[in-house]
Structure 1
Amino acid sequence: MTTRILAAGDHFVTSELLINAIEREIPGGASCSRLTLPWPTVPFGRVAEVDEASGSEDELVAALQGVEICVTQMAPLTEAVLAQCPDLRLFCIGRGGPVNANLDAATRHGVAVTYAPGRNSTATAEHTIAMMLAAARRIPATHGDLLAGQWRGDYYMYDQVGPELEGSTVGLVGYGAIGRKVARILGGFGARVLVSDPYITQDELGDSVELVQLEELLHRSRIVSLHARVTDETVGMIGAPEIAAMPQGSVLVNCARGALLNYDAALDALETGHLFGAAFDVFAEEPIPARSRLLSTPGVVMTPHLAGSSKETAHNAAAIIAGEVGRYLRGDDLQYRANSVGEPAGQARR
């Protein structure tokens, strides 16, 4: 019997990309149907008990009837969806973490959940470097002035110019797949790189990167970039005391998660001149509220949570998902399992 698969794509990781990747992995081995979710034209949000999801439970339930495998980036895997889709056995999420899945409920219902770590690490690392440069060299502000017909020579005054990456000390808070690539790129610029991460050792870093405690990293770094995951311990980890510990005229970058940073504290530091600049791709509230201080504080560079957006990221996500589908159908262990449902998915197929 041919396995039924739902490709619940969106306008970034499209259903077509997902299906093409699956067909390359298992030619003729599955029957694929499609569902298109509205992200990113409609922002993701909370759906029932899961976060950062797109679409509704009802439309997903309707599309999953008789389906054994769902491949997606943003579809909400909730208790209600699981309860109404008894044929579902594998739910593959093309993201760095399974935030849009209720893992406990999936385990109870015997549904294996996988995710796609590292799919956007290169895109996010490159974007992080771009944001460092944009904030340090005031590229958006000067570009905007030129568009407005202003040629401002005062940007060349000593107090108005920022640091170079070469020779600067850059601190990375967190050293996962993205942090490692940022460190490698910074090495090419000639920067000195410090890392604070409680889950790694100096032996994992090599000679070109120095492992330090967060307090030391903040005191020594001219540029600080956040790369930690959000946990109970890391929520709000960079606030007013931490920013005050950074050198006068330094730059703060967050392309990780909005929950890591106290944005009011960062904006206060920009207004007093303690921070030279700040660059944010993620925010405490998305989209940014119309009257937010972020929109009026000088020295802020912003992008709308798109650091991980590249064509390669979308293809990587589809390929990682397809690999998991292939393992499931062959009865192999899943490589990026997010939960445990007993025996390896697909074991009964042997």
Structure 2
Amino acid sequence: MSRILTAGDHFVLNSLLQEALSRHAPDHPDITELTLPWPVEPFHRIGEVDEASGSEDSLIEALQGVEICLTQMAPLTERVLRACPDLRLFAVTRGGPVNANLDAATEHGVAVTFAPGRNATATAEHTVALMLAAVRQIPQRNAELLAGAWRSDYYRYSDVGPEISGATIGLIGYGAIGSRVAAILHGFGAHILVFDPYIQPGTLPPTATQVNTLEEVLAGSDIVTLHSRVTPETTGLVGVRELSLMKPGAILINAARGALLDYDALCDVLEAGHLYGAGLDVYPSEPLPAGSRLRALPNAVLTPHLAGASKPTAHKAAEIGAAEVGRYLRGEPLQHCANPANAATRVS
């Protein structure tokens, strides 16, 4: 009987992981658990992997004699792999297995899976929420009202922003999240420009138009929102030159990854009044440093990397990860293996 460890946390709970396993691996009751401290304690770099929680020592102890680990944040490092020779499947319940050393896992014969699309709906909704908040400056007006101010003078034409209905909104990236954002914005009556070299034909809503260059989407949009994955090609995708191409009074939204955007350049154009505002959920350094220029900008709406935070996200994460465990136990091909050379067949 294969031993399974669920290494849950305070978002993707062990109870959710084990409930999902009861559906996908009902004949494997040998399950132990380890509770990681995220998000009560922020994730951090552990060994050579990023965005992990807990410690190598606690994971090594919990993995002794364990063949399968189902987790969101546990650190799969070279040290952990060397100390846990029975491990064969490390199922990560997040959109990308950044907390796993894939090269080392491949070398040690461990398959690593992930959970694409688990938070796509939540992140799309949060993106549109940031858009609305930045357009109407809702957090700023709320803070002023709670402090005792009643500022009806914001009705001045020079101070008001655009509407989403009838606006042109540019999407940079059209994957699981970008396509959901487009569907929501279609209901608002927005016109949508999409830049994504890998877009599938026939997937755009009727009000969307595909453009061929980044420059087209930046220059033609009233609101621009980022949805690209971070790769060597997309790191720093929007910088000084790109921001200068945006319309005066436009709005920029980033709930994807901080590495896509030059934040110093963004602060410059926000301070200069070239852009009307920005809505941001991700940053180049997290947590956002106390001295960040963004904290002093009245036209920036900020949230602390919460776009994917919803109860359905946690349930979907557990379900996708447990389904991979079930496939492995039945000897079926894994659907979301990050190191396909090890798209494992069961060895015990």
- Specify if TM > 0.5: yes
1:200-279 aligned at under 5 Å gives the runs 200=199, 202-205=201-204, 207-212=206-211, 213-279=213-279
Deviation at 1:28, TM superposition (A): 3.5
In the other structure, the counterpart of 2:299 is: 299
Contact 2:190 / 2:207 at 8 angstroms: preserved in 1? no
Code of the aligned partner of 1:309: A
TM-score by length of 2: 0.97
Matched, 1:10 2:27: no
Secondary structure of the corresponding residue to residue 175 of structure 1: coil
Name the SS for the 1:46 alignment partner: strand
SS of the equivalent of 2:340 reads coil
- The answer to whether structure 1 residue 188 and structure 2 residue 170 are counterparts is no
Counterparts of 2:200 and 2:215 in 1: how far apart (Å)?
17
Q: What CA deviation, in whole Å up to 9, does each residue of 1:260-311 have, x standing for no partner? A: 0111111111111111010100001111111111111110101100100100
How many residues matched?
347
Q: Distance in 1 between matches of 2:245 and 2:335?
A: 41
* In 1, Cα distance between equivalents of 2:106 and 2:29: 24
Deviation, 1:340, is 2.5
Q: Judge conservation of contact 2:17–2:70 (CA < 8 Å) in 1.
A: yes
Partner amino acid for 2:109? G
Structure 1 residue 55: Cα displacement: 1.1
8 Å CA contact 1:202–1:210 kept in 2: the answer is: no
Gaps of 5+ in 2: none
1:161, CA displacement in angstroms?
0.7
- Identical pairs, percent: 62
Query: What is the CA-CA distance between 1:256 and the residue it aligns to?
Result: 0.2
RMSD across aligned positions (CA): 1.2
CA-CA distance at 1:201 after TM superposition: 5.0
Tell me which residue corresponds to 1:324: 324
Structure 1 residue 240, shift from structure 2 partner:
1.4
Structure 1 partner of 2:100: 101
Contact 2:88 2:111 in 1 (8 A): yes
Give 3-state SS (helix, strand or coil) of 2:317's partner.
Answer: helix
Change in CA separation of 1:202 and 1:273 when aligned onto 2, cut-off 3 Å: farther
Query: Normalization by structure 1: what TM-score?
Result: 0.97
Equivalent residue for 1:38? 37
Q: Which residue of 1 aligns with 2:21?
A: 22
Measured against aligned partners, the alpha-carbon deviations of 1:202-256 in whole angstroms (never above 9, x if no partner) come to 5443543211111000010000000000011111111111111010001000000
- Aligned-residue offset at 1:26: 1.9
Q: Residue 55 of structure 1 aligns to a residue in which SS?
A: coil
SS in 1 for 2:174: coil
Residue 161 (structure 1) aligns with: 160
C-alpha change, 1:15 and 1:234, in structure 2 (3 Å) is same
- Tell me, which stretches of 5 or more residues in structure 1 are unaligned? none
